[in-house]
Structure 1
Amino acid sequence: MHSMKRAFFWLSGAGTETLEKCPAWEQRKYVAFGATVLVPCAFAFIACAYALSTLTDNARVIYPVAAVWAFIILTIDRALLAGYRPYMSLVRKLSQFSLRLVVAVLMGITIAHPLVLLLFRDTVSSVIEKDRAAEIEVVRGGFQTEKEKVRGQITTLETAIAEQRTKWNESFQAKFILQENEDASSAIPGLTAEQQTELKAAIDEATAPFRERLAVVEKQSDEYNPQYAKLQTELGFWQAEFERELNGQRSGMRGEGPRARSIRADQLEPRREESKRLGGLLEHLTAEKSTLQTQARQAEAGAIKLFETKLAEIAAANKAEADRVAGLKQKVENDQAEQFVTQQNSLRDTIKQQIDTRLAELNRVQGELAAVATEETDRLAALRAEPRRDILTQTLALHALFQAGNEGGQFAFYTYIVLTLLFMLVDTIPLIVKFFTKPGPYDTLVDRDELTFDTEHRAFRQSRTRYMDQLASGNLIAVTRNQRLENALVDGVEHTRAAREFLDSLVEMEKAFAEKMKLEEQNIGVAESDKRAALEAIKKRFYQDLNHRMEVFFSSRQAPEGV
């Protein structure tokens, strides 16, 4: 119990030896002072621990640092109490209290602010989460703009690819630049109506197999072209659906999920294979059509040639002219067919290269869209994962709450002010209690000791000045060249002066005592022997005490060694 009391004495900034000379009630007062120092220390530990908990969850860091901070607050409060002196002028007392109050208020705010944040933790957390949601919406809007830009590029590329595919389809529907509907009567001029009918029948008989097959090929082409166009339309639709699945616009899952894989496996790949098959088939039919038309024309030429042989009675000039015209026509038709096939093949190769280039560009842009979606997901996940528990973020959120006047912000602000003032009052309570407490015996003893030391210091300064003045006017200036001699001389002079003053005070005391005793002896009657004996005992005790003082004084004033 005694050691605990000494600990509270130490906390109050008081000297244990001096307090033990004071009454018990004075000691209890300083025990209470020490207990008030522990209050802001405990608040400092809680506030620092909470502030550190917003930065780290490591208990090995939080509690040691909080303990150090609490010890710092304890030391500062103890220094403020130890440096306060009640026996001063009012101006100095107020200036000293004001300075220490400023320090105490600053320390109080430092301690009170984290505690207020702790009390408003739920409200501050809701404001922080609201700000986080607003920031997430801003980030999401920025990424949405970027994705819309990429989607615009995708739409442009898809339109260009569709146009090239249309040109590819049209290349299978082209016609030769020939006179396919030419009248048979013009093959050989000068024929009669009967000869023309016979010639037409021969031509029809010779070209019948090719015309039938050509009709079949044209029928198949007419059937396959709408199928191919429809397949291209469906392929474009499912390609768009597949891209929306990748972007998460339908299922909400970004990347190639189950539905995206299903679309690719069940819709895109079969249609791509079917499109490839129909394209090859149309290309084959076009080539076959060209071949049949050439063979039909050759058969027609052969029929005409056979018919011309039968017409021997026709003049040689007409026959020669007919042969020349037929040969020239055949040559032109063959040249046109070859040029057409070459041109169409070259055109299809060009269109295929353009389609492949735009498909590669489309894949790249789709990759950019997927990268933007991934970046958006990562950014939003990072925003949601941010702890936002640091003191600055919570303080800004608290101030934002104060500014929301129509949503209870003023009430929160007034509550914050009241709690802050309350915590500041608790943190500065040791100094306030000390200031408004009446000075007691301990303060009197401390003030007496300080006054004694101040007086002795002033006396030493005066004596030193007087000694130096005498030294400068005397013949002992050379003594100052030897520090030991100077110290001995100064000590001897001071001892001599002190002894003289001491003896003068004893003589004055003895004279006053003798006069007092003489007056008392004169007032004692003859029958008052007991009183006279008491006076004799007092006189004996006085002179014994006087002699003891002289012995103690001169025994403690020994000359220094070596002098």
Structure 2
Amino acid sequence: MSTSLKRLFFWLSGAGTETLEQCPHWEQRKYVAFGATVLVPCAFAFIACAYALSTLTDQPKVIYPVATVWAFIILTIDRALLAGYRPFLSWTRKLSQFALRLGVAVLMGLTIAHPLVLLLFRDTVTSVIEDDRATEMEAERDRFGTRKNEVRQGMDTLEEKIAKLQQDRLETYDAKFILQEKTDPTAAIPGLTSEQQSELKSATEEATAPFRTRLDAIDSQLDELTPQFTQAQTDLTFWQSEYERELNGQRSGLVGEGPRARSIKADQLEPRREETKRLASLLEHLTAEKATLQTQAREAEKQALNAFEARLAEIEAANQAEAARVATLRHQVEQNQADAFVTQQNAVREALDVQIETRNSELKTAQSELDQLSREERERIDAIQAEPRRDILTQTLALHQLFEQGAEGGQFAFSTYLILTALFMLVDTIPLVVKFFTKPGPYDRLLDRDETVFAAEHEAFQKSHSRYMSQLAAGNLIAVTRNKSLENALVDGVEHSRAAREFLDSLIEMERSFAERMKLEQEAHAHAGPEKLAALDAMKKRFYDDLHRRMEIFFAGGQA
């Protein structure tokens, strides 16, 4: 392994490179492994964050940079946890330290584990979300269906009223004239002879015959086409629902416009849609033609009636030539009565026409409302279908709903979720767990030694500084501290004097101990001979020479 790569793993493990390089190779390999374990939760954090962001946006320039930053945050936290762990502590402090860091690691592990579990359960969660979407769409269809049924009932009521008004209008043509004399109580029209009544009826039927024939044909076509149009609308609604269910994957399990959906659209939906449009257009054309023919029939009937009345007046005038005054008066009376009756019936027809026109307007309004409801239903269903529903909250709610579905299946899904979550949490906390259960090595001992030395030096510095400040406060040198240069010189002199005193005391103690030892040796070897005594004298001389040399070096350094 190259040095730069090894140092990278040292950095990931939170260890000091300079200290680790003083350790054996097997200790360095152990910390390379620690650094590698930090990369594992970092990689999982990148995947989890990328998936979580993919539920919110499809922009790679947003997903990958944010996921990289999140992975770096997890890496930094894990590295800080490893760097802050110390094995040479009491079990109480070690367990409290580990518990605190484990709590932080568990929280960070949950933020990684939950999106990854959602990613693993994505297909099942998606099916639950689509089922909820289908249920919501069905509820919308039921709601709009209820409103459309109410509008259709209103349209049926209007059509019944229009039919009743049209029947009343037709009955106005069957009204009887009011004449002064009733020549035949059993006659169809009092005041007219049977032949005249037959002639009037023939003339009226002859004038309206072309229109009545066509009206009968139109009524027959309407009676035939109306059920067909109703059935076509019903089939169109049914196949539209089947096509939407196929798009949602409720029938074949495939979401989107697959072969089955295209087959339904081409073979069932589009032909029925065209047939419905054709029947609607044909019904509208027949209804308009019927209204036109009824108007023309009324005009022809009115013209025939006027012609017959004129002819009747001529016949009556010719028959009553011998009684011109009486016939003229009677004719005037009858003419006035006929005119009054025609005027009255025309007024009734006009009133009925206004009512029929009003009902037709209301019927068109109801039809427009029905079309608007159909458009709103389509827009609402399209909006529900277009909703992505991929965010973390929606997926979490769907997963919770999956847990509540069924006793065994939901419990199994919940147990699987807990196992996977625990597994991902273990993967995220593995660097700290491995560090905790690993036996302290040379690096830990070196680090503990450096920290112990630093702590001892710091404690000694605090004691020395406290003693110095006490002496400074008790003396008359407090003004010196106002000049930094003088203060530094004073501190240096005081410390050097103290060091010199300590040095001299140690030398005196050492010389005293050496003198007592030499005295004992000389007494013990008083009779050993001149050689032994000479050796002791030479040793004594070298000791004092070395003692003088040390004093010269120390004080020469202090003067410098």
Please report the TM-score for the alignment, with normalisation by the length of structure 1.
0.79
Aligned residue runs from structure 1 range 357-436, under 5 A: 357-406=358-407, 408-436=409-437
Instruction: Provide Cα deviations, 1:447-470, integer angstroms capped at 9, x if missing partner.
Output: 121122222222222222222222
Aligned residue runs from structure 1 range 8-407, under 5 A: 8-178=9-179, 182=183, 213-220=199-206, 228=215, 231-232=218-219, 234-235=221-222, 238=225, 248-249=236-237, 252=240, 257-270=273-286, 272-293=288-309, 295-306=311-322, 323-324=325-326, 326-406=327-407
- Consecutive unaligned residues of structure 1, counting only runs of 5 or more, are 185-202, 310-322
* Distance across 1 between alignment mates of 2:517 and 2:25: 39
Matched residue, 1:442 = 443
Matched residue, 1:479 = 480
Shift of 1:151: 1.6
Instruction: Provide Cα deviations, 1:366-397, integer angstroms capped at 9, x if missing partner.
Output: 11211111111121122122222211111111
Secondary structure of the equivalent of 1:428? helix
CA contact (8 A) 1:44 1:73 kept: yes
Shift of 1:516: 9.2
Structure 2 CA distance for partners of 1:246 and 1:511, relative to 1, 3 Å? farther
Structure 2 CA distance for partners of 1:431 and 1:332, relative to 1, 3 Å? same
* Larger deviation, residues 455-464 vs 211-220: 211-220
Find the structure with the greater CA-based Rg.
1
In the alignment, residue 339 of structure 1 is paired with which amino acid?
A
* Distance across 2 between alignment mates of 1:550 and 1:213: 166
CA contact (8 A) 2:218 2:286 kept: no
Shift of 1:344: 2.1
In the alignment, residue 14 of structure 2 is paired with which amino acid?
G
Instruction: Provide Cα deviations, 1:288-322, integer angstroms capped at 9, x if missing partner.
Output: 2244145325523531333x59xxxxxxxxxxxxx
* Larger deviation, residues 477-486 vs 462-471: 477-486
Structure 2 CA distance for partners of 1:369 and 1:503, relative to 1, 3 Å? farther
Structure 2 CA distance for partners of 1:417 and 1:274, relative to 1, 3 Å? closer
* Distance across 2 between alignment mates of 1:463 and 1:336: 141
Secondary structure of the equivalent of 1:468? helix
* Larger deviation, residues 283-292 vs 38-47: 283-292
* Distance across 2 between alignment mates of 1:98 and 1:462: 35
Size of the aligned set, in residue pairs, is: 513
In the alignment, residue 175 of structure 2 is paired with which amino acid?
A
Shift of 1:403: 1.2
Structure 2 CA distance for partners of 1:450 and 1:175, relative to 1, 3 Å? same
Secondary structure of the equivalent of 2:143? helix
CA contact (8 A) 1:172 1:286 kept: no
* Distance across 2 between alignment mates of 1:520 and 1:376: 119
* Larger deviation, residues 223-232 vs 471-480: 223-232
* Distance across 1 between alignment mates of 2:225 and 2:10: 87
* Distance across 1 between alignment mates of 2:391 and 2:521: 85
Secondary structure of the equivalent of 2:177? coil
> What is the aligned-residue RMSD (CA, Å)?
4.0
Structure 2 CA distance for partners of 1:503 and 1:58, relative to 1, 3 Å? farther
Instruction: Provide Cα deviations, 1:139-160, integer angstroms capped at 9, x if missing partner.
Output: 1111112212222222222222
CA contact (8 A) 1:402 1:413 kept: yes
CA contact (8 A) 1:402 1:409 kept: yes
Structure 2 CA distance for partners of 1:144 and 1:264, relative to 1, 3 Å? closer
Shift of 1:433: 1.0
Instruction: Provide Cα deviations, 1:221-262, integer angstroms capped at 9, x if missing partner.
Output: 796668747745754775686588679448756999532442
In the alignment, residue 23 of structure 1 is paired with which amino acid?
P
CA contact (8 A) 2:316 2:331 kept: no
* Distance across 1 between alignment mates of 2:555 and 2:169: 130
Structure 2 CA distance for partners of 1:241 and 1:493, relative to 1, 3 Å? farther
Please report the TM-score for the alignment, with normalisation by the length of structure 2.
0.80
CA contact (8 A) 1:228 1:275 kept: no
CA contact (8 A) 1:154 1:365 kept: yes
* Distance across 2 between alignment mates of 1:387 and 1:420: 26
CA contact (8 A) 1:244 1:250 kept: no
